[in-house]
């Protein structure tokens, strides 16, 4: 199973992101139903490992917290690959990711190590951009650098199965883990 842990976004935040996406005319936009904040990508795992992960995640304890999308950015060292919505700094989010990762490694799960950079992917860009397309992406990044979305409460996170399809991935929630509400 190809699985990951993520914070699902409330509908009003997804609606805001769809509007934010609409002014980006380059690349393939992420479908609304796939907009999320990945905490940890576990990649392909045997079913037994997913069950162990589920058991470990039930023991993760953290308080609910508030998040806000703040600005946009891009990934790609040599060429731009992804445009994303960024988040305002949130120590509680960083701590949640640390606890999730630690609990999974404690039960022996092996998955790719990546630096945690909280974001929501808005669009995937083609492997090579023309000069005009590159200018459009850069203009988009500059004009939306000061973007601020609505604040929203994070009351839990979920384990998702990702099935790769010809037109992109289909994500299905297979478990949810609640955070303590203050």
pLDDT above 90 as % of the chain: 87
Domain count for the chain: 1
Give strand pairing partners of 158: 6, 176
Other Cβ atoms closer than 10 A to 107: 13
Domain that holds residue 35: 2-178
The enclosing H or E element of 54 equals helix 47-57
Give the CA distances from residue 64 to residues 8, 106, 177, in Å, rounded to whole numbers and listed in that order.
Answer: 14, 23, 11
Mean pLDDT of the region 112-134: 93
pTM value > 0.85: yes
Cα diameter, the chain: 50
CATH number of the domain bearing residue 110: 3.90.1140.10
pLDDT of residue 182: 54
The enclosing H or E element of 3 equals strand 2-8
């Amino acid at each position: 199973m190809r699985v990951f842990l993520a914070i699902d976004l409330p509908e009003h935040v997804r609606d805001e992101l769809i509007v934010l996406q609409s002014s980006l005319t380059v690349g393939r936009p992420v479908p609304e139903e796939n907009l999320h904040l990945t905490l940890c990508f576990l990649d392909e795992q045997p079913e037994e490992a997913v069950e162990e992960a589920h058991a470990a995640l039930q023991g993760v304890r953290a308080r609910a917290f508030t998040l806000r999308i703040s600005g946009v950015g891009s990934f790609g060292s040599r060429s731009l690959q992804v445009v994303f919505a960024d988040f305002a700094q949130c120590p509680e989010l960083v701590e949640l990711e640390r606890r999730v990762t630690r609990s999974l490694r404690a039960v022996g799960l092996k998955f790719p190590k990546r630096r945690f950079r909280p974001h929501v992917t808005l669009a995937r860009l083609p492997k090579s951009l023309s000069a005009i397309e590159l200018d459009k992406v850069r203009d988009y990044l500059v004009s939306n650098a000061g973007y601020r979305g609505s604040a929203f409460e994070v009351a839990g996170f979920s384990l998702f199965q990702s099935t790769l399809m010809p037109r992109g991935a289909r994500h299905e929630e297979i478990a949810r883990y609640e955070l303590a509400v203050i």
